[in-house]
Amino acid sequence: MRDHLKRIPKSVKRFVSEQALLPRLRSACDQMIEVLYPRQALDTDPDVINFAAPPRTVQATGLSAGAWSSIRFLSDEGCAMCARPFEGGLYMGPDALCTFCSQTPFPFKHTRAACLYDEASRGLILAFKHADRLDLRPVLLGWLSRAGNDLLSQADIVVPVPLHPSRLFERRFNQAAELARPLARQHKRDYSADALRRIRPTHKQLSQARTAKGRMADRMANVKDAFALSEAGERRLKGRHVLLIDDVFTSGATLSACAEALLKGGVRRVDCLVLARAATQTAPL
């Protein structure tokens, strides 16, 4: 890297520093992002007041108290394996599985999701994921910490779902790693960002299949063999209990592919902790 920098002509270096091009470019990008995702426009219902909502935290998210109170926090009420809430919000016990997981279990053992991925939470999560709203991180970490407290206390090491280097370059940060690293530190767990790698890029997961089974099969095929452990990762994770961190659990295909790669590399057990669980339907009992 230092050699590459040396090869840049001095006149170019001077021009860049004198004109302060990089900060200007960065500022223009920030302004564009602010227009696309304005901080105070994550919801459109600013008049509803819920006096029970924590005001500072609400203020930090850019949500009104009303929008905050409509976020559905999940904790451990849903399926133990995929975190999908049961019909009617019933609590069926800590190890209850939904019909889907009973019939076709995922390779990971447990999942906890902080909230449901729906109209109320989507704006906040997308702002964190795509609009550099790293200022939301303390609030989201609080949610994850609460929802995943038991899994965090059991795990040996925390691992984020990796991005492919091309996507990382495009997005500039891995949102899962931005959550996983401080979470591991808070809960005094080991952390590894590079043990698990995404070895090929995957497409945006849009399936044309008409049935849920068909859509799931398409998503699984899209991420099959997309992840692998590095040699150092295998040495580091062998025989250990890994907690995988991601932002949204949609079909579970990505987390499954990660878990399969981890187990293939000798990991003893995998659990998952996500910000939100996308579930268009509740799980039948």
- Smaller CB separation from Zn ion, 17 or 102: 102
With CB under 5 A as the contact rule, which of the stretches 52-60, 78-86, 181-189, 261-269 interacts with Zn ion?
Answer: 78-86
Indicate whether 81 belongs to the interface with Zn ion (CB under 5 A). yes
Q: Between 110 and 129, name the residue whose CB sits nearer to Zn ion.
A: 110
- Backbone φ, ψ for residue 8 (5° rounding): -70, 125
Q: What is the distance between the alpha carbons of residues 24 and 51, in angstroms, rounded to a whole number?
A: 41
Q: Is the CB of 101 or the CB of 180 nearer to Zn ion?
A: 101
Give least dist CB 84 to Zn ion, A.
5
In the complex, the smallest distance separating the C-beta of residue 105 from Zn ion, rounded to whole angstroms, is 9
Shortest distance, position 91 Cβ to Zn ion, whole Å: 14
- Residue pair 209/218 in contact (Cβ under 8 Å)? The answer is yes
Task: Please state at what angle helix 253-264 crosses helix 212-223, rounded to 10 degrees.
Answer: 40
CB of 248 to Zn ion, least distance (A): 16
β-pairing verdict for 269-277 and 190-191: unpaired
Minimum gap (Å) between residue 51 Cβ and Zn ion: 36
> Which residue in 58, 65, 79, 279 binds Zn ion (CB under 5 A)?
79
CB of 235 to Zn ion, least distance (A): 33
User: What per-residue string of b and e applies to 162-190 under the rule 16 or more CB within 10 Å gives b?
Assistant: bbbeeeeeeeeebbbbbbbbbbbeebebe
Name the residue nearer to Zn ion (CB basis): 221 or 285.
285
What span, in angstroms and rounded, lies between the C-alpha atoms of 253 and 257?
A: 6
Tokens linked to 81? 């394996």
Angle at 272 between CA 266 and CA 277, to 5 degrees: 150
Residue 260 near residue 226 (C-beta atoms within 8 A): no
Which one of the spans 17-25, 76-84, 216-224, 253-261 is the region binding Zn ion (CB under 5 A)? 76-84
Q: Give residues 84-113 in contact with Zn ion (rule: CB under 5 A).
A: 98, 101
Fill in the amino acid letter for 190. D
Cβ proximity to Zn ion, 109 vs 224, nearer residue = 109
Kindly tell me which of 85 and 162 has the beta carbon lying closer to Zn ion. 85
- Site of interaction with Zn ion (CB under 5 A): 79, 81-82, 98, 101
